[in-house]
């Protein structure tokens, strides 16, 4: 790409910063953008801006929302005695798609990763504890990913929650160790919710 215009090189640079996008893919995406119509390109740019301007974290569960509170927290039909703890909003979306869980969620916005300098204070643990202390919650279900760091995070949380009067369970291990919630299929997720066990 030595002879390309500065604009194209700049676009390739930005694509390279996206997760999972190497130099080759970035170049392919940039050339794709060059080929699409101006309205299409504008729509893409608008979609990116709109996400940045309108989407925030739910002030209760840290799911993505366009208001103060997400639709799940606002839904009065959901079972408020259970909170399923996940790492990322995309894990929550995967579980919602499975459709067999009617409780609330709490999104940690990451997992403990000491080697990367991610400690408890970088996650939303404090506000999870506050939700438990507020009294309505009877069960916390650990839905962190079955990876070394996900398990470590669940263990850390269960220790903290042991001091509060709440049952701690975790999703059944139907999901192969090391795989990630967001890639699990609907049946696996439903089984994992139905077969949850004491932590
Ligand atoms: Zn919420």
Contact 195, 172 (CB under 8 A): yes
Strand partners, 140: 83, 168
Q: How confident is the model at residue 128 (pLDDT cuts 50, 70, 90)?
A: very high
Lookup: tokens for 167 = 């049952």
Q: Give me the count of residues in the chain.
A: 199
Distance 59 CA to ligand 1 centre (A): 7
Strand partners, 79: 103
- What protein residues have CB closer than 5 angstroms to ion ligand 1? 58, 60-61, 63, 70, 73
Distance 154 CA to ligand 1 centre (A): 20
Distance 64 CA to ligand 1 centre (A): 8
What are the CA-CA distances from residue 143 to residues 16, 84, 99, 161, 185 (Å)? 31, 6, 15, 15, 15
Distance 177 CA to ligand 1 centre (A): 28
Distance 13 CA to ligand 1 centre (A): 35
Q: Residue 113: is its pLDDT beyond 70?
A: yes
Enclosing H/E stretch for 81:
strand 79-86
Enclosing H/E stretch for 142:
strand 139-142
Distance 20 CA to ligand 1 centre (A): 28
Per-residue DSSP letter, 176: P
Distance 145 CA to ligand 1 centre (A): 20
Residue appearing with tokens 């939700």: 131
Distance 130 CA to ligand 1 centre (A): 14
Tens of pLDDT, residues 29-44: 999 999 999 999 999 9
Distance 124 CA to ligand 1 centre (A): 13
Tens of pLDDT, residues 147-158: 899 999 999 999
Say what the pLDDT of residue 111 is. Answer: 95
Mean residue pLDDT of the chain comes to 91
Torsion of CA 143, 167, 111, 57, to 10 degrees: 80
Tens of pLDDT, residues 79-90: 999 999 999 999
Distance 162 CA to ligand 1 centre (A): 24
Tens of pLDDT, residues 161-190: 998 989 999 988 765 554 567 777 777 788
Residue 19: partners with Cβ closer than 8 Å, 6 or more residues away: none
How far, in Å, CA of 144 to CA of 157, rounded? Answer: 10
């Amino acid at each position: 790409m030595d002879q390309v215009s500065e604009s194209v090189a700049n676009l390739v640079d930005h694509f390279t910063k996206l997760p999972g996008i190497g130099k080759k893919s970035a170049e392919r995406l940039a050339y794709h953008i060059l080929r699409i119509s101006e309205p299409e390109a504008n729509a893409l740019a608008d979609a990116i801006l709109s996400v940045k301007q309108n989407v925030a974290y739910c002030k209760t569960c840290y799911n993505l929302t366009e208001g103060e509170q997400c639709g799940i927290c606002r839904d009065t039909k959901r079972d408020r005695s259970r909170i399923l703890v996940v790492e990322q909003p995309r894990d929550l979306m995967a579980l919602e798609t499975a459709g067999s869980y009617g409780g609330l969620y709490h999104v940690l916005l990451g997992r403990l990763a000491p080697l990367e300098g991610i400690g408890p204070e970088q996650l939303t643990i404090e506000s999870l504890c506050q939700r438990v202390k507020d009294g309505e919650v009877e069960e916390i279900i650990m839905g962190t990913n079955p990876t070394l760091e996900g398990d470590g995070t669940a263990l850390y949380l269960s220790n903290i929650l042991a001091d509060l009067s709440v049952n701690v369970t975790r999703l059944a291990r139907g999901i192969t160790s090391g795989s990630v919630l967001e890639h699990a299929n609907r049946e696996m997720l439903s089984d994992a919710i139905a077969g949850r066990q004491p932590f």
